[in-house]
Structure 1
């Protein structure tokens, strides 16, 4: 029971950390191009992991299965969705992108049924997915759906990013566990190695003249939404399962809206609270009945 409570607390912490990324990226890209920003945050995080491993006198596993994990999650869970979503949002609104990203928990739910023996489809989980998606719609509003059908390629790109996250989640769920900080370090190093050439291919990193605010934003992005988040990511997927973890895609936009109210002076709207209530209901229903009974001591 104690471990379960800890895992749900970590899931919430991960949502809080990732929800700050929107604000930090907004500050960072004011003077640093997006591919360069991504390469910088990943490289800083990778260097920090390397320093930590060197202090401990250790290194990441290099056997074929570990290398496959680093490459797949580095590409499918980091570089590819970033490129697809960033490109897609050039052509569609952020509200519509958020709705399209809502396919991630649904596709993870379906994929888990077929590939993860302990996460079969149930009516209860389907109700939970429905509540979570309703929470997302409540947050962004039905008018965002009016953009469906326009800029098909942009919408397909965002959907591709969502599906990439789903595949990465299922892949991690299926991998044998080894030390989490080594898994996080390996994936971060691989993602950095992939992102650096992309930055030079599409942008001119050495020509950037970043402001101090952008530099601070990149550093915080490296420390928390990248390095710390990676450590939590591997634990909660293994302990809570892919379907429960995927609900973070519904929690993050709600928390992001709250950050906008607290830090940017945006108007506090009633739909934020209703959306959070629906998302939390969704997470509750996705848990199995036996899991709930064990937590209550029944």
Structure 2
């Protein structure tokens, strides 16, 4: 019987190329160091140039976690929350409103969407929410959302995604849940239930963007009325900062929470930080704390304001 020919012997594994592997490790290590150094140089140069943060952003902290929004998103969040506070709605309503707007539009007032949907909440004219022009007004669309939400029986005890879906009737009913924690953090800050937890990292106000004192105060006063239904108590040059290129608006926030003036004050103060990009605010004072744009955070103030009082200082043209 003929024996079958054996196949070729299996090749002997080559010995590992240690020098090559070491070289690769060194290259990876060097690359990592260079990447870190590059980031450090960019950040360092940015700080030295005085141009403000590389990425402007706003933060709300809750239970040890930071939840970020862009300044534009924070500005719209301030409206959604402020509207709920002005209407006397609970913080839960704000959480539901923010989660809905985050899912529907990423909290940006867009003029397009699925079929004829537009605006912060992607409401559809064909579904009876109003005209496209009306819905593109964020004040109108926010109030329209809450008008329906408050008619949902027991919405305060419902899961966020269920409450939002009852109002919106979305094709993706579970999508709202993913935004709950971020919305809770921002709702807690903007309703004054969490204090000193909302801040924004913003660049300095450009000289070309600075307004005359009266015009700058009018911007703050207009937003206070639009978002919170508050009118400034006083509006005048700020002598405490010894800065002729600034002006301060003083607000009595007590009407927002008559039984707890400090909560109304913190709601207003953190609203003022969230809208600082639009209003050009550089300092916000409440209670015994002060938020400084240059520091991007809250610090102890040199004096305590009266309960319910808030002072918003804006840069103005000299």
Tell me if both proteins adopt one fold, taking TM over 0.5 as the criterion. no
Structure scoring higher RCO (CA < 8 A, sep ≥ 6) equals: 1
Provide TM-score, normalisation by structure 2: 0.26
TM-score, normalising length from structure 1?
0.27
1 or 2, which has the higher helix percentage? 1
Query: Max radius of gyration: which structure?
Result: 2
